[in-house]
Amino acid sequence: MCRPPSRQRRVSRAPAISRRALLAGGLASGIAGLSSMPARAASTPASRAATLDWALLETLLALGHPPVAATELVQFRAIAVEPPVPDGVADLGLRGLPNLETLLLARPDVIFNSSFYAALEPRLSRIAPVESFTLYQPGRPPYAPMVEMTGAVAARLDLAGRAEAFLAAATTRFAALTARLGAGNRPVLAVNFGDARHVRVFGFDSMIGEAMPRIGLANGWDGPTSYSAAAPVGLEALAPHGEAWIASVGPVPPDVATGLARNPFWQALPAVKAGRVLWLDPVDPFGALPSALRFARLLTEALERARTVGGG
């Protein structure tokens, strides 16, 4: 007598659902659910912030309010370096292609974005309200937008007092660095090496170009810029600025040192012949006030060391 198949066997024949499919379905339904919820009013203080942009990340850290999620944290720690990122911040992956599942699970109240990643805002806004800022535009100095962005972020998070304290401290730190350098300094050409033959030179509409006059230094580059820097230009473009220091802003590609040793254009530059070359640790050139303060400090320290050994 044939026994009918057991219930257990019939269940086992049902199509299997993969973990990937479950996660994808959960993400889709979660975002759909969030998009149907009323958005938090912009006037209501948020507590859980997320961001794709490093300038906003460092600003949140400087305000003592780390985001719940941000992008490319390994690279941020290596290039921007400071302020330090707490271990509890979730890494969303690439700035231009963030992991939306991780962002959803972080449950932000607000997502701070920049114009660099504006194309992502329709998808981001399905997870949380998005507030976007534009710090960098060709021909426009970014310092005032940095200050305004700092205040706006702080206001959204109900941290106006912290923003006021941070901005006051920044002014004090710039003034202290100015006093350390004194008067009568040479101009500075701040560059970032692409390879042993090309650099980008930071102009007046860059964060780096804005930081130098705040510590009493003239930007040696008076030529045109291309989105905050003349990039790239050959090393020969530095020759007309013979009286300036050259300050290389890290990171520097690993083969540059060997290439420069064999490069006749580099060896012939007046600043190189006179020993007026400074090598700075990495700085995020598209950062906000914390990066401006970091660059100003590193440049001041490098100039002080050069004076100690008799350079320039």
Residuewise pLDDT in 10s, the chain (312 residues): 444 444 343 333 434 434 344 334 444 444 444 443 334 445 567 899 999 999 999 999 999 999 999 999 999 999 999 999 999 999 999 999 999 999 999 999 999 999 999 999 999 999 999 999 999 998 899 999 999 999 999 999 999 999 999 999 999 999 999 999 999 999 999 999 999 999 999 999 999 999 999 999 999 998 888 777 776 899 999 999 999 999 999 999 999 999 999 999 999 999 999 999 999 999 999 999 999 999 999 999 999 999 887 655
Considering the domain architecture, whether residues 66 and 115 belong to the same structural domain is answered as yes
Report helix, strand or coil for 277: strand
Residue 267, domain member (yes or no): yes
- Looking at 132, 163, 194, the residue that finishes a domain is 163
Which pLDDT value is given to residue 33?
A: 43
Determine how many CB atoms are found less than 10 A away from the CB of residue 240.
12
Which pLDDT value is given to residue 2?
A: 41
Structure tokens given for 133:
């800022």
Considering the domain architecture, whether residues 271 and 196 belong to the same structural domain is answered as yes
Residue 207, domain member (yes or no): yes
- Number of structural domains, the chain? 2
Helix axes of 289-308 and 54-62: crossing angle, nearest 10 degrees: 80
Residue 37, domain member (yes or no): no
Judge contact between 238 and 246, C-beta under 8 A: yes
Residue 177, domain member (yes or no): no
Considering the domain architecture, whether residues 151 and 71 belong to the same structural domain is answered as yes
Report helix, strand or coil for 262: coil
- What is each CA distance from 14 to 206, 215, 302, in whole angstroms? 61, 71, 69
Residue with token string 């269940």 = 11
**Phi, psi angle pair for 273, to nearest 5°:** -60, -35
Which pLDDT value is given to residue 125?
A: 97
Considering the domain architecture, whether residues 151 and 189 belong to the same structural domain is answered as no
Residue 63, domain member (yes or no): yes
Question: How much of the chain is helix, strand and coil, in % rounded to 5?
Answer: 45, 15, 40
- Distance, CA of 232 to CA of 238 (rounded, Å): 12
Which pLDDT value is given to residue 308?
A: 86
Maximal C-alpha separation, the chain: 106
Considering the domain architecture, whether residues 258 and 199 belong to the same structural domain is answered as yes
Considering the domain architecture, whether residues 145 and 255 belong to the same structural domain is answered as no
- Looking at 163, 194, 213, the residue that finishes a domain is 163
Residue 20, domain member (yes or no): no
Which pLDDT value is given to residue 286?
A: 95
Considering the domain architecture, whether residues 128 and 83 belong to the same structural domain is answered as yes
Which pLDDT value is given to residue 278?
A: 98
Which pLDDT value is given to residue 7?
A: 38
CATH code of 69's domain? 3.40.50.1980
Residue with token string 């990937």 = 20
Considering the domain architecture, whether residues 129 and 188 belong to the same structural domain is answered as no
Q: Minimal CA–CA distance to 47: which of 131, 128, 162, 157? A: 157
Provide the total of helices (H) and of strands (E) in the chain, helices listed first. Answer: 13, 10
Considering the domain architecture, whether residues 215 and 121 belong to the same structural domain is answered as no
- Distance, CA of 82 to CA of 158 (rounded, Å): 23
Which pLDDT value is given to residue 312?
A: 54
Considering the domain architecture, whether residues 209 and 285 belong to the same structural domain is answered as yes
Considering the domain architecture, whether residues 187 and 157 belong to the same structural domain is answered as no
- Looking at 163, 190, 213, the residue that finishes a domain is 163
Which pLDDT value is given to residue 73?
A: 98
Residue 97, domain member (yes or no): yes
For residue 125, the enclosing domain spans: 44-163
Structure tokens given for 4:
């009918």
Which pLDDT value is given to residue 27?
A: 44
Residue 29, domain member (yes or no): no
